[in-house]
C-alpha cells in the first residue's frame, strides 16, 4: 500500500520531468504540499564517488544562513568552566560521567548534536558504539570537538549542520521548512550545495554531483540543474 495520498499524485502529474532552476524547484515544492503540516524541505544528492575507496568518503559541515526551522537539541560533554560556558550558550544537556553513563547504559540519544571538549573526548570515546552509527559522535573535522563549546553550541542552534554521504553514494541535508520564504530556502540550498562541492575528495575525477533533488517530507522530488564539475 502506497504511503502517498492524493496530494502527492496530483503534484506528480504537474512535476517537471527534467531538471529545472533552483528557484523554480523551490516554487514547485512550496506550491505543491504533500501534507497539511509544515513539511521539512530536504536536498538530496547523488554523488559520483567510488565507494570502494576509503578516501572518497564525503563529509563536512554547512551553516545554513536562514536556520533549519526546527529546535536543535544540543548535548555537551564537558566539565568546569567549559561546561558553564556551554550552559550559558543554551546547551540542552551538559555533563560528563553522568551523560556518558546514560548513553552507554541506556542508549540515550535524545539530542541532535553532540559536542565535546578535547579533554572530554578521552571518556566520550566510550560512547562511540552508540553515537557513531547515528552520526552523533563528536568529531574535530566538523567542529564538534572543541575547547570553545559555547561557540559550537551557538552555531548548532543557529543552523550549522553536519552532513555525511551514505554507503550508496547518496547524501541528504535539511534545507528548512516549506513555510520558509522562497528566498530563504534558496539561500539555504545554495549554501548546502557550495559546502557539498567544497567537500569533493581530491581523488574523485569526473562529475562529482550526478544529481540534486529538492523535496518536502511527503511531496514530490524536483530535480535541479547543477553546473557540471567534470574535470
Whole-number CA gyration radius for the chain: 19
Q: In whole angstroms, how far apart are CA 85 and each of 81, 112, 117, 147, 215?
A: 6, 19, 12, 10, 38
pLDDT for residue 9? 79
pLDDT of residue 228: 59
Confidence (pLDDT) at 202: 85
Question: In the beta sheet, which residues pair with residue 75?
Answer: 93, 114
For the chain, where do the domains classified as CATH 3.30.190.20 start and end?
15-67+161-223
Using the structure block, give the residue that is written with the C-alpha cell 555537551.
76
Identify the architecture of domain 74-157 in CATH.
3-Layer(aba) Sandwich (3.40)
Q: Is 46 helix (H, G, I), strand (E, B) or coil?
A: strand
Q: What is the CATH number of domain 15-67+161-223?
A: 3.30.190.20
pLDDT at position 231: 39
- Note down pLDDT in tens along the chain; length 231 residues: 346 678 877 787 888 889 999 999 999 999 999 888 999 999 999 998 766 556 567 888 899 999 888 889 999 999 999 999 999 999 999 999 999 999 999 999 999 999 999 999 999 999 999 999 988 999 998 889 999 999 999 999 988 888 888 888 899 999 999 999 999 999 999 999 999 999 998 888 888 999 999 999 999 999 999 975 543
- CATH 3.40.50.790 in the chain is located at 74-157
Strand partners, 61: 162
Q: With H, G, I as helix, E, B as strand and everything else as coil, classify residue 114.
A: strand
User: pTM here?
Assistant: 0.78
Amino acid at each position: 500500500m502506497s504511503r502517498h495520498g492524493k496530494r502527492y499524485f496530483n503534484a506528480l502529474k504537474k512535476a517537471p520531468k527534467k531538471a529545472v532552476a533552483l528557484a523554480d524547484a523551490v516554487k514547485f515544492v512550496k506550491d505543491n504540499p504533500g501534507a497539511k503540516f509544515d513539511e521539512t524541505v530536504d536536498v538530496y544528492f547523488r554523488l559520483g564517488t567510488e565507494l570502494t575507496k576509503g578516501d572518497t568518503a564525503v563529509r563536512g559541515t554547512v551553516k545554513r544562513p536562514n536556520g533549519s526551522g526546527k529546535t536543535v537539541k544540543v548535548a555537551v560533554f564537558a566539565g568546569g568552566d567549559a561546561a558553564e560556558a556551554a550552559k550559558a550558550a543554551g546547551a540542552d544537556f551538559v555533563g560528563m560521567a553522568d551523560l556518558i553513563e546514560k548513553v552507554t547504559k541506556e542508549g540515550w540519544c535524545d539530542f541532535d548534536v553532540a559536542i565535546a571538549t578535547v579533554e572530554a573526548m578521552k571518556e566520550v570515546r566510550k560512547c562511540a558504539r552508540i553515537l557513531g552509527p547515528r552520526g552523533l559522535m563528536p568529531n574535530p573535522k566538523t567542529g564538534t570537538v572543541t575547547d570553545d563549546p559555547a561557540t559550537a553550541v551557538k552555531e548548532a542552534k543557529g543552523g550549522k549542520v553536519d552532513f555525511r554521504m551514505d554507503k550508496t553514494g547518496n547524501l541528504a541535508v535539511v534545507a528548512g521548512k516549506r513555510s520558509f520564504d522562497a528566498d530563504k530556502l534558496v539561500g539555504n540550498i545554495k549554501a548546502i550545495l557550495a559546502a557539498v562541492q567544497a567537500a569533493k575528495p581530491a581523488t574523485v575525477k569526473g562529475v562529482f554531483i550526478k544529481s540534486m533533488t529538492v523535496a518536502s517530507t511527503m511531496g514530490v522530488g524536483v530535480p535541479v540543474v547543477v553546473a557540471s564539475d567534470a574535470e
